[in-house]
Structure 1
């Protein structure tokens, strides 16, 4: 089945949606996913689109590499299921201090988690700072620290990642 040839912007929009919905490990897989959506494209075109979109390959929690787009427009909020998938794939550890939550990821993945968290627009998150494999989350209200009674943020993020609290935090 041959699908329509979409313009670059339209095709890249479809690619962005596919990368958010699927763990895409190769350009060939992305060509097949596009075709399943009715969009005909070549591997060379998909390769250029991935460069244009700023897509990078990151290691997932199981060590496999998959394409991800680190920055999406800030007016797109990440629904909980997307946040759960991103955290489940890339967050390996959650720690908390009084006003910070610290997430650890595989190398090269912290910015993907940070972008998803920023788009989620959680009211208790003032902002995030991502390095290579570490993400700092600044808690909005210093009177409600990330640990103790309002450690709900750290607990919620652990739950999204499918992690259990450490002994020190139980």
Structure 2
């Protein structure tokens, strides 16, 4: 006898979307958006970027960011990602942006952040497990042709806008109000 669950694609009673529903027990297998958390990290007028050591977009530059873990606050997740990818400790500031990436079922929460001195002569940042390289860039020297994802371009542009015009609340996808 097989214990494999078989699902039908249908709209459960009281719902508005098609879902995978178990033929045997009626279990509804909800698939919800993935939450990505991260930060645009600044230090002495420069921005911290990580060259990805993993796919997708291995070898391209990004801000420290990744998926939120279960039982973790978004703020703690953003700090954890900076430690994992750049061995960096952060002081989080304002929420810079909330981006929607529907084709990947992602919602991205991105903070403004500053590097914290870890003390005891430790480096401000280093190469984490998921990075090939980590560096501080002058705004005029960003590797714009080697940025990993469109949202990273948005983040960097939104951070520059904040620096020029002040913070005006979280940004969203360009062209969305």
- TM-score of Structure 1 vs Structure 2, range by shorter chain: under 0.3
Relative CO higher for 1 or 2, CA cutoff 8 Å, sep ≥ 6? Answer: 2
Structure number having the greater helix percentage: 1
Q: Which has the larger radius of gyration?
A: 2
When normalised by structure 1's length, the TM-score is: 0.25
